[in-house]
Structure 1
Amino acid sequence: MDKFLKIILVEDNLIEIMKMKRTISLLKLNHTLQEAKNGEEALQILEDKANMPDIILLDLNMPKISGIEFLKIIKANEDLKHIPTIILTTSSNQKDLLECYRTGMSGYVLKPLKYEDYVKKIESVLAYWSVNELIKM
């Protein structure tokens, strides 16, 4: 049986947040989605050790702390580095991709323009992580 995931979505674009919520609803998934509008908000959420997420979905282009900076911060933290972090971005820049792999991301997903394609990608990502063995701390 698939697990229900606790997900943190780190995304500053309200339309992208609404699109993710709509997709999870459309797919009839019972995952818990917590939003952070930037890396600072996400780090505050992650301070609550009793409510750790199973996965983090992370945009790269954000104010205050970029996605790559946020990724470096959590991967350097012993209490957080085990959390799978999947990049959801419009950037197909090979430099970004390489930097994210070097830093320890768990996946890099390009956001497609068509909503139907977006739904398929998100469905695949969430299906994979809901059957994958996750570390509970």
Structure 2
Amino acid sequence: MTEPSQRIILLVEDNEDDELMTLRAFRKSNIHNPVVVVRDGAEAIDYLFIQGRHADRDPDIQPQIVLLDLHLPRIDGLEVLRRIRSDERTRTLPVVILTSSKEERDLVEGYQLGVNSFVHKPVDVTDFFESVRQLGMYWLVLNELPPQKRKGT
């Protein structure tokens, strides 16, 4: 089993303020996992599928969770989720939609596509920090993940 401190978080977020608040909330909650930040859906796909500018990264080190915004440049979050769920290599990867969207259709489509959780970003900073702390504690400490498949297995 991967140690919690080695579990990588992939944060897919185009808003720098939300990125900084998320990273600060992790630090304040003593969640010191490595965080990889990508700014749009196309870069998220490249990172997850080890292509494009991420083609040289270690394929054996996959994120343990993806925190996915919906409204992203180039490829939107629901399309990223669709691609994650359609590929055997990433099908079981935990994905949490963390968004400011209040659209019911985003919620419904996210669950139809197989999201593990859908969380609205609270406007209040204290509430935002608490939401991120709880997400981190659950997905990185309490939740048990399926074993990762190695190349050639």
Please tell me whether Structure 1 or Structure 2 has the larger radius of gyration of its CA atoms.
Answer: 2
Structure 1 counterpart of 2:45:
43
Note the C-alpha offset of 1:74.
0.8
Structure 2 counterpart of 1:89:
99
SS of 1:51 mapped into structure 2 = coil
Q: Runs (4+) of structure 1 moved beyond 4 Å?
A: none
1:80 and 2:90 aligned:
yes
Cα offsets for 1:21-57 (capped at 9, x unmatched): 1111111211110001011111221115222000000
CA distance, structure 1, for counterparts of residue 47 and residue 105 of structure 2: 29
SS of 2:4 mapped into structure 1 = coil
1:14 and 2:16 aligned:
yes
SS of 2:97 mapped into structure 1 = strand
Q: Which of 21, 27, 30 is 2:29 aligned to?
A: 27
Structure 2 counterpart of 1:131:
142
CA distance, structure 2, for counterparts of residue 53 and residue 70 of structure 1: 15
Structure 2 counterpart of 1:3:
4
Letter in 2 for 1:12: D
Q: Which of 104, 107, 115 is 1:105 aligned to?
A: 115
2:21–2:129 CA contact under 8 A, matched in 1 = no
TM-score by length of 2: 0.85
Note the C-alpha offset of 1:62.
0.6
CA distance, structure 2, for counterparts of residue 72 and residue 107 of structure 1: 15
* Percentage of matched positions with identical amino acids: 32
Gaps in structure 1 of 5+ consecutive residues: none
Structure 1 counterpart of 2:54:
none
Count of residue pairs the alignment pairs up: 136
Structure 2 counterpart of 1:119:
129
Aligned-residue Cα RMSD (Å) equals 1.2
